[in-house]
Amino acid sequence: MKTGYLVLQNGSIFEGYRFGADKAVLGEVVFTTGMCGYIETLTDPSYFGQIVLQTFPLIGNYGVIPEDFEGKCELKGYVVREWCDSPSNFRSEYDIDTFLKANGIPGLCGVDTRQITKIIRDSGVMNGAILDKLPDGENDEIFEKIRSFKIVDAVKSVTCGAGHTAFAPGAQNCVNDKGIRVALIDYGAKANIINELLRRGASVTVFPAGTHAEEILSGGFSGVMLSNGPGDPAENTFQIEQIAKILGKLPVFGICLGHQLTALAAGGNTYKLKFGHRGVNQPVKCIADGRTYITSQNHGYAVSDNVPGRAVISFVNANDGTCEGIDYPFLNAFTVQFHPEARSGPHDTSFLFDRFVNIMEGGAL
């Protein structure tokens, strides 16, 4: 295998072996702790612009299953300790090396992923590069390129090009068909958000992130779903303005970036976390009853605890106390930072979609 290098912004260099696409890339280096769900990670648009490192040492053992894709592969690079070239799963169609090559994503294996994770955990998220050759000393121009890299236009880059509507199979004859129509604003939406709504008998019309609020408000929808997505939430000034126009007029449910954008639209603030929450084992405590749920998360920004107006924090992260959910009873809206639709699990919080359906049917928040 061809030798390759991961070069971090702080000057750390890790030698490994190349797989996937044979090219050099710059990106923001982040780690995710999931023991499974690498297919969903590779196809989650929220990883736009990032070089993703898997902390679990063996990746790819159950192959690649296109049916489980969440969206288009948008990450910049992929780093693992070891990848499995002989996956065993009756649903598998090919291995992750083939997937990465097909999507133009370079991979690096054989590096000490534990040490890289410790560096990011202790120093914070930093930029990096996957290269074929070592930098020529500390003055090599690659270090300036790494330092100056910035993720921009993230939502604009991953949102859908045109809107479309999805219906639950046989919904018109289904006993669960509630006649509910949901407008989903796509900031980089994961496919399973739509699936969860369809399972509850709703129809879902997907709108690009650049859609004006007036188009949605005049569409006769029962409620609005604000999706996950990548990048700095504060960058999306147009989207924040549109959400502000929608709040209080239709029931709203926001997930991840949708959670952050709603807080900004309501007058709150967001900030960048030291190394973010990425994985499928994040404990979240419900303020109302004290119960703790295990959740899937993928975000580098958080909403400030100083929530706007009459808003109420509904969930907090049990590890670091950061805000994980907000209720806006006066606006008939609620949002969460974690992913209740997680396809690979856990499924502890999927009941939040039932809550959304109940609100659209006229129930109390």
Q: What angle do CA 251, 253, 258 make, to 5 degrees?
A: 130
Cβ partners under 8 Å of residue 347, min gap 6: none
> Of the residues 40, 196, 324, 341, which is catalytic?
341
Please indicate whether residue 341 is annotated as part of the active site: yes
Note the maximum CA span of the chain. 68
> How many angstroms separate the CA atoms of 335 and 312, rounded?
11
DSSP line for 53-99: EE-SSEE-TT-B-GGG--S----SEEE-SEE-SS---TT--B-HHHH
Q: Determine phi and psi for 45, rounding to 5 degrees.
A: -60, -15
Q: Determine phi and psi for 91, rounding to 5 degrees.
A: -95, -10
> Of the residues 259, 277, 299, 339, which is catalytic?
339
Please indicate whether residue 339 is annotated as part of the active site: yes
Strand ranges for 91-163 from DSSP E: 106-109, 126-131
Three-state DSSP at 299 gives strand
Please indicate whether residue 323 is annotated as part of the active site: no
Closest alpha carbon to 220 in 181, 270, 185, 189: 181
> How many angstroms separate the CA atoms of 299 and 286, rounded?
19
> Of the residues 256, 259, 277, 299, which is catalytic?
256
Catalytic residue numbers read 256, 339, 341
